[in-house]
């Protein structure tokens, strides 16, 4: 198992390219199940989660071939309709095969994901959505078994805006008979990318208003090529790396419009920011100002940036209150950051971070993807050496993070380790 050894204190400077968005790729790859044939996906990030999705699809009869950041996907040979526990337990996004398999093949058997590293993450909205579209759903020995001769259009109004449930219902509805209306649909950029891709495949989707989608089911879709959108969370993480280390960096190949809430908060924290069509430049202040953050659905501040923001506030000039309204229990990084000297009080979903003058290197443990990112960020500024164990979490969602950080001047090494 690999670990990172980080010697803190280097200011980051220079430019970094942002990779394709993990969470867009994880939605668009299963969407390819909706039409038989060949697809070319470009700007595909090289990540463990993408490999897991490729394995899952390969188990269904899909052939994927990667060359650099291009992935060829051939769905002509699909002959199985099951997502096994062994893969779903590794990655919850596996649930995305439910909608496409059901609508195109009339059958799907998908393992229930169970809890994730930081707590329960229900899938009731996915299941209720499929039922409303006319599927017969049975839960059997940890598996969801869904069947339908042909799904039919319906109206679905989500109580909670859910990225995954919106994606799954969309992928099911595009081949259903009749019209489906989705109210309170998620509008995260990854869902917009999915809608655009489905339209390119021949789906009839009308954006009635920002959170209402009307889908007129069609009999058949066609394969299409697509370039993955940039990863807004990777982009935000690098911006915080620049800010935290007192650096001056430019991130390229990103979409600043997807990052408005993060950029605004960084400006409040005292960073000077300049944005162009596809780049963001950041110059950090002498000392970061304390800025409260509450996570919200898009376009609010993303829950996927909450851990990194806590790392930034750990060294701020004053106290900041960070509230996560999406996942109440996503705070496994807090006790680890405290091992580095951060002063944080956690009450349910609210972290009160009292900025300290310095952090000090120690051994810390990754527990999930974004928690790992926050520990690396803290390690970049902690005095002395920080070891971040269990970095396999980071490989799920950040392509070559240590190489990109090193190119910006960080002292970070990956070493294999027996520690667990």
Footprint (CB under 6 A) of ligand EPU, residues 328-357: none
C-alpha distances out from residue 121 to 74, 161, 327, Å? 31, 14, 8
Q: Does 121 bind ligand EPU (CB under 6 A)?
A: yes
Select the residue interacting with ligand EPU from 12, 135, 241, 326 (CB under 6 A): 326
Active-site annotation holder among 40, 116, 273, 407: 116
Q: How many CA atoms lie within 13 A of 319 on its CB side?
A: 9
Select the residue interacting with ligand EPU from 3, 126, 404, 414 (CB under 6 A): 126
Q: What is the pairing mode between strands 143-147 and 248-252?
A: unpaired
Q: Is 116 one of the annotated active-site residues of the chain?
A: yes
Q: Does 125 bind ligand EPU (CB under 6 A)?
A: yes
How far out from the chain centre does Cα 89 lie?
16
Q: Does 132 bind ligand EPU (CB under 6 A)?
A: no
Q: Does 391 bind ligand EPU (CB under 6 A)?
A: no
Total interface residues for ligand EPU by CB under 6 A: 24
d(CA 146, CA 67): 35
**Among 80-88, 130-138, 156-164, 241-249, the segment contacting ligand EPU (CB under 6 A):** 156-164
E-assigned strand segments in 60-216? 63-67, 70-74, 82-83, 107-111, 136-140, 143-147, 155-157, 179-183, 204-209, 212-216
Q: Does 90 bind ligand EPU (CB under 6 A)?
A: no
The 192-231 site mask, x for binding ligand EPU (CB under 6 A), equals ----------------------------------------
Contacts of 120 (CB under 8 A, 6+ apart): none
Contacts of 180 (CB under 8 A, 6+ apart): 133, 153, 154, 155, 156, 169, 173, 214, 215, 217
Tokens of 368: 């999930």
Select the residue interacting with ligand EPU from 55, 303, 319, 360 (CB under 6 A): 303
Closer residue to ligand EPU, CB minimum distance, 108 or 359: 108
- Shortest reach from residue 132's CB to ligand EPU, in Å: 13
- State the residues that interact with ligand EPU by CB under 6 A: 23, 26, 92-93, 121-126, 160, 162-165, 186, 190, 303-304, 326-327, 369-370, 397
Q: Which residues are catalytic?
A: 116
């Amino acid at each position: 198992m690999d670990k990172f050894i980080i010697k803190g204190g280097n200011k980051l400077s220079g430019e970094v390219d942002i990779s394709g968005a993990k969470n867009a790729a994880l939605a668009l790859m299963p969407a390819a199940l909706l039409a038989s044939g060949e697809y070319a996906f470009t700007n595909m990030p090289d990540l463990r989660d993408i490999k897991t999705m490729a394995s899952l699809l390969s188990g269904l009869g899909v052939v994927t071939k990667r060359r650099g950041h291009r992935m060829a996907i051939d769905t002509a040979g699909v002959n199985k309709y099951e997502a096994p526990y062994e893969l779903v337990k590794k990655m919850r996004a596996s649930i995305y095969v439910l909608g496409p398999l059901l609508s195109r093949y009339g059958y799907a058997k998908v393992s229930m994901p169970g809890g994730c590293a930081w707590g329960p993450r229900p899938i009731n909205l996915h299941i209720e959505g499929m039922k409303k579209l006319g599927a017969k759903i049975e839960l059997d020995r940890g598996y969801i078994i869904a069947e339908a001769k042909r799904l039919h259009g319906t109206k679905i109004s989500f109580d909670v805006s859910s990225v995954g449930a919106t994606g799954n219902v969309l992928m099911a509805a595009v081949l259903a008979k009749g019209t489906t209306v989705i109210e309170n649909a998620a509008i995260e950029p990854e869902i917009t990318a999915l809608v655009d891709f489905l339209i390119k495949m021949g789906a009839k989707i009308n954006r009635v208003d920002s959170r209402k989608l009307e889908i007129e089911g069609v009999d058949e879709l066609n394969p299409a090529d697509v370039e993955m959108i940039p990863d807004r969370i990777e982009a935000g993480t690098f911006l915080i790396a620049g800010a935290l280390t007192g650096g001056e960096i430019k991130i390229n190949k990103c979409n600043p419009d997807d990052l408005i809430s993060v950029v605004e908060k960084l400006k409040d924290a005292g960073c000077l920011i300049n944005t162009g069509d596809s780049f963001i430049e950041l110059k950090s202040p002498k000392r970061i100002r304390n800025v409260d953050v509450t996570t919200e659905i898009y376009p609010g501040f993303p829950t996927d940036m909450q851990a990194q923001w806590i790392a930034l506030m750990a060294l701020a000039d004053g106290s900041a209150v960070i509230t996560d309204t999406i996942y109440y229990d996503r705070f496994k990084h807090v006790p680890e950051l405290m091992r580095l000297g951060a002063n944080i009080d956690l009450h349910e979903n609210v972290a009160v971070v009292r900025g300290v003058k310095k952090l000090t290197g120690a051994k810390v443990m990754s527990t999930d993807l974004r928690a790992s990112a926050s520990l690396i960020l803290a390690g970049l500024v902690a005095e002395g050496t920080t070891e971040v164990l269990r970095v396999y979490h980071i490989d799920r969602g950040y392509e070559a993070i240590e190489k990109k950080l090193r190119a910006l001047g960080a002292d970070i090494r990956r070493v294999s380790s027996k520690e667990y």
